[in-house]
Amino acid sequence: MSDKSFIDKAKDTMEDVIDKAKDTMEDVTEKASDTMGKVTKFQKQSKLKAGYIERDEFKNSNFQKGFFCYNCIYWINMTGGKCMMVNDKGPDLFGNVSDVIAPHGCCSVYTPDFDEINKRKEVIVEDNK
Ligand code: SF4
């Protein structure tokens, strides 16, 4: 192979590699901006905007029954309660600030988690015969 054709082939290969790298970078940039767009669109609502309320009177209720954050599909059972849709900071409709989405709270975004609502609690019955 002559020096000239070797150099030409090397040039072609380099151009191919550069073209592929450009395509990959364009794909990565497009995916990153798409993801950023989705993240900025998905902002949690404030408690006020969601109409969130939390009443102490319901603290000792059976959370599997009734309209409670506990049995809402967006509730996360951690550090006192979090929500995927509503920010845990700030005042609720009554002006109370708890900094959690409590299991006994509720808001207008409530969506029932029927798996939780219909979950049977284990009942231990002793057979004293
Ligand atoms: S009822 Fe509202 S605040 Fe409570 S978990 Fe569901 S969406 Fe979040």
Looking at the structure of the chain, the number of domains it has is 2
- Ligand 1 in reach of 63 Cβ (< 6 A): no
Q: What is the pLDDT of residues 77-123, one digit of tens each?
A: 999 999 999 999 999 999 999 999 999 999 999 999 999 888 876 66
What is the 8-class DSSP label of residue 70? G
- Ligand 1 in reach of 52 Cβ (< 6 A): yes
Higher pLDDT, residue 25 or 101: 101
Judge contact between 49 and 93, C-beta under 8 A: no
Quick one: which atom of ligand 1 is closest to the CA of 67? 1
- Ligand 1 in reach of 85 Cβ (< 6 A): yes
Which residue's structure tokens are 């029932």? 112
Parent domain of 48:
44-119
Judge contact between 98 and 111, C-beta under 8 A: no
Domain of residue 88, CATH code? 4.10.490
Q: Is residue 27 part of a domain?
A: yes
pTM here? 0.65
Confidence category of residue 9, pLDDT binned at 50, 70, 90: confident
Rg, the chain, Cα only: 28
Confidence category of residue 40, pLDDT binned at 50, 70, 90: low
* Amino acid (1-letter code) at residue 102: A
Q: Could you tell me if 101 and 91 lie in one domain?
A: yes
What residue's CA is closest to ligand 1, atom 4? Answer: 69
Which residue's structure tokens are 């700030």? 90
